[in-house]
Amino acid sequence: MSQDKTAEITVTQALNRALDDAMAADSTVLVLGEDVADAQGGGVVKITKGLSTKYGTDRVKSTPISEQAIIGAAVGAAMAGMRPVAEIMLMNFTAVCADQIFNHAAKTRFMTGGQTQVPIVIRTLGGAGRGTGGQHGDLLEAWYAHAAGLKVVAPANPADAYGLMTSCIFENDPCIFIEHIGVLGAKGPAPQAGHRVPLGRGAVSQEGRDVTVISYARQANEALIAARKLAEEGVSVEVIDLRSIAPLDWDTVLSSVAKTRRAVIVHEAVKPHGVGAEISARINEELFGQLKAPVQRLGAPYSPIPFSKPLETAFIPAAPQIEAAIRKVLG
Amino acid sequence: MLTNDRPDGKTLLEIYRRAALIIACDNHVRAVIRAGRIAAPFYSPRGQEIISAAVSVNLTDQDYVITIYRGLHDQLAKGVPLKLLFAELAGRNTGTCKGKGGPMHITHPETGVMVTTGVVGSGMPIANGFAWASQIKKDGRVTVCNFGDGASNIGAFHESLNMASVWKLPVIFVCQNNLYAEHTAYSIGTSVARIADRAASYSMPGVQVNGNDPSAMWSAAHDAVERARRGEGPTLIEAKTFRFNGHNLGDSQEYMPKAELEAAIAADPVPRLRQRLIDEGVATAAQLDALETALKTEVEEAAQFAFDSPFPDLAEIRRDVYEQEVPA
């Protein structure tokens, strides 16, 4: 990976740089969403800060609070040859424009027999832990991964955030880009301009022999914390950061589990019917006879995100729970 | 709002040609579905064809059209090739969308027909996107978005008109008010006497017009298209009309007073235009007879082309999901 080792930046800064570099490189790249222009603050968490000043408010448009109109405008402009990056402030609010995402963005290439395409990025924030209760922190990646035609990504560090955003913008398929609130402040080496992370390619963020932990977004970072702790006891944990949820890097997942013969899957979205169920099923389909222990899945309990702090903390699968799950598969 | 521009004889004849093509095609589609040769729901536009014909003669192939599942008239009027259209209706691989869209999802970018949606009200947000791209690229194109009266009660209508107005987009919203939203009569579901009045909430011109009157419909469309091309923003046109074949083919229409339907059919606007062309010396009855015969033949040939074409290869299920083929 091409990285400038001298500089560390946050995920927020990486995303801002990726948008900036893409807009500089290609005049068809557009940004739209609530409050995205500088006069309105440059986005709810400042990811679009500076872009309207640099590229003008024709290309960086603050919109009314109209999610259907935002995604519809992005879909139409994309079909007309542009590369819009639409911000839906919070992933919960993507439910408001679900028709545009599921029935139009996802299916248009197929339903037009390949005559048209919808190269849009839908940037959206999710993640619990900010005391926002049940309607501001959901992670709905399973909904979107289940809709044929969408690509879904969720980075955990600045280099991947930059590289995935750049790839999504120049990708010709519609992408759901999950910005997890719990990783926006994460620091890491700044990638070089134009760095891309291929969609559908996971990363082995730590190599190991005894067990594979498969995750993404905040829990990919939590898995690394758990792995380092267990390393002190001589347990060798392989950590896979999927980065892309759809398409999913089955080669990396299956070859790792074939090697370690034990798997733990962890995500923050509620466990039932989550992405972990798909991964577990596929591991069992392909590697059943080779597994030394049943696959373990970790996810949030089957509940809306609670407000009260102890409940909210308990809702989020973190390093201690991942450590316990690893110990369980080790027997 | 309306200027004094009126269509000339040549334009009226072209409106008639497009309307007659729509009727010929609609008749044949209903016949082949009834005969069991195509198994698909069909939403006949019969009765509404003057609207599409009179709007589309104001457009070029480069202008964009968005329509809905009742969209055969909008597609044909804009110029979608009959053979490709019929093959799509029949699910054949020679169809506009390789048979993967079907009657409710016709797209043909070469003639500007970009989206045919099966979800009521969902075309308007997308129409804004096409218009936004035109505004940025300064390509002079306008986008016409067709929908029914029922769609004006969906949130997306209000979001879209608001955004189009704030952004001054070159888009024309054409509400084809056929007085029934599926099986629900206009007054049962709609709060305003005139849908055109809703434009006032979004600071754009709202024009109600008799969509079955080719001159009035042409003039309203002409003004809105010119306004959009001048960069003055969107217009809402409410085109009053009626559908002759209910919501979908086979609809018993029991929710509709019989007299209302009979009166609408008695006032069928297409034969009236035909008579007008003869009365005004634009065409002779013999010329129009020949035109209609030629259109009927063209439709029959398109149907034959469709039924002679193969179905898509099963591998098409994996193609066009993403840009790259999905693994088997």
pLDDT in tens, A123-167: 999 999 999 999 999 999 999 999 999 999 999 999 999 999 999
pLDDT reading at A3 higher than 80: no
Give the pair of three-digit tokens for residue B18: 């497009």
Which residues face A190 on adjacent strands? Answer: A4
Cα-flanking dihedrals φ and ψ of residue B101, to 5°? -100, -55
Q: What is the mean pLDDT of residues A308-317?
A: 97
The residues pairing with A266 across neighbouring beta strands, listed in sequence order, are A298
Query: Given CB atoms, is A10 within the 8 Å cutoff of chain B?
Result: no
> B125 CA to chain A: closest CA distance, Å?
4
Q: Which two tokens stand for residue A297?
A: 């899945």
Q: To the nearest whole angstrom, how far is the Cα of B198 from the nearest Cα of chain A?
A: 17
pLDDT tens digits, one per residue of A86-125: 999 999 999 999 999 999 999 999 999 999 999 999 999 9
- Identify the residue whose tokens are 């059209």: B65
The whole-angstrom separation of Cα B124 and Cα A69 is 8
Whole-angstrom distance between the N-terminal and C-terminal Cα of chain A?
Answer: 36
Q: Are the beta carbons of B239 and B269 closer than 8 angstroms?
A: no
Taking the CB of residue B10, how many other CB atoms lie within 10 A of it?
Answer: 10
Q: Edge to edge, what strands does the sheet with A296-300 contain? A: A203-206, A237-241, A211-215, A263-270, A296-300
Query: Which one of the listed residues A34, A87, A104, A136 is annotated catalytic?
Result: A136
pLDDT band at A1 (very low <50, low <70, confident <90, very high): very low
- Rounded mean pLDDT, B108-137: 98
Query: ω into residue A247 within 30 of 0, thus cis?
Result: yes
Nearest to B170 by CA among B199, B200, B196, B136: B136
A278 labelled catalytic: no
Instruction: Give B-chain residues touching A84 at CB under 8 angstroms.
Output: 129
Nearest to A72 among B98, B125, B134 (CB): B125
10 Å CB burial of residue B293 (0-12, 13-18, 19+) is exposed
Q: What is the pLDDT of residue B328?
A: 87
Mutate to test the interface with A, among B161, B171, B320, B325 (most CBs of A within 10 A): B320
**What pLDDT is recorded for position B3?**
55
Tell whether the model's pLDDT for residue A174 goes beyond 90: yes
List strands edge to edge, sheet with A29-33: A60-62, A29-33, A83-90, A121-126, A175-180, A151-153, A244-246
Residue B189 has pLDDT above 80, yes or no: yes
Whole-prediction pTM: 0.97
Q: Is the pLDDT of residue B299 over 90?
A: yes
A101 → chain B, closest CA residue: B122
CB-based contact A80 B129, cutoff 8 Å: yes
* Residue A7: band (very low, low, confident or very high) from pLDDT cuts 50, 70, 90: confident
Q: Is A40 in the B-facing interface, judged by CB distances under 8 Å?
A: no
Comparing CB atoms, the residue among A66, A75, A112 nearest residue B129 is A75
User: What does the pLDDT read at residue B4?
Assistant: 60
Dump pLDDT digits (tens) for A212-271: 999 999 999 999 999 999 999 999 999 999 999 999 999 999 999 999 999 999 999 999
DSSP count for chain A of H helices, then E strands: 12, 14
Tell me the one-letter amino acid at B60: T
Q: Whole-angstrom Cα distance, residue A70 to residue B263? A: 42
Are A90 and A143 in contact, with CB atoms under 8 Å apart? no
User: C-alpha angle with apex A198: A197 to A202, nearest 5 degrees?
Assistant: 85
Parallel, antiparallel or unpaired: strands B235-240 and B171-177: parallel
Q: Which residues on chain B are in Cβ contact (under 8 Å) with A144? A: none
CA-to-CA distance for A69 and A67, rounded, in angstroms?
Answer: 5
Whether A244 and A200 have beta carbons less than 8 Å apart is answered as yes
3-class secondary structure, A245? strand
E strand spans, B74-215: 113-117, 143-148, 171-177, 180-181, 184-185, 206-210
Quickly tell me which residue has 């110029």 as its tokens: B79
Kindly state the tokens that stand for B314. 């099963």
For residue A265, give the 3-state DSSP assignment: strand
Mean pLDDT of chain B: 97
Name the 3-class secondary structure at B20.
Answer: helix
Q: Tell me whether 0.95 is exceeded by the ipTM.
A: yes
Among partner residues A63, A82, A171, which is closest to B133 by beta-carbon distance? A82
For residue A207, pLDDT over 80 is answered with yes
Cα–chain center distance at A126: 9
For residue B57 the two structure tokens come to 């003669």
Between CA B29 and CA B39 the distance in angstroms is 11
Are the beta carbons of A190 and A158 closer than 8 angstroms?
A: yes
Kindly report the nearest CA distance between residue B133 and chain A, in angstroms: 5
Active site residue A195: no
What are the tens digits of pLDDT across the range A24-72? Answer: 999 999 999 999 999 999 999 999 999 999 999 999 999 999 999 999 9
The helix (run of H) or strand (run of E) holding residue A213 is: strand A211-215
Question: What pLDDT sits at residue B5?
Answer: 80
Report the percent of chain B where pLDDT is more than 90: 98
Tell me how many helices (H) and strands (E) chain B has: 11, 8
Q: Report the residue from A110, A151, A247 with minimal CB separation from B320.
A: A110
- How far apart CA B78 and CA B60 sit, in angstroms, is 8
**What would the pLDDT profile of B31-64 be if each residue is shown by its tens digit?**
999 999 999 999 999 999 999 999 999 999 999 9
Summarised one tens digit per residue, pLDDT across range A176-200 is 999 999 999 999 999 999 999 999 9
| 8 Å CB contact between A157 and A192 | no
Enumerate the H helices of chain B as residue ranges. Answer: 9-34, 49-56, 72-78, 82-89, 123-137, 155-167, 186-189, 214-229, 258-266, 269-279, 285-308
pLDDT tier at A5, thresholds 50, 70, 90: low
- The three-state secondary structure class of A320 is helix
| Mean pLDDT, range B315-326, rounded to an integer | 97
Cα separation of B51 and A281, whole Å?
54
- The A residues from 253 to 312 touching B (CB cutoff 8 Å) are none
Å between A309 CA and nearest CA of chain B: 36
Distance, in Å, from the CA atom of A302 to the CA atom of A287, rounded to the nearest integer, reads 28
Tokens of A70: 């935002």
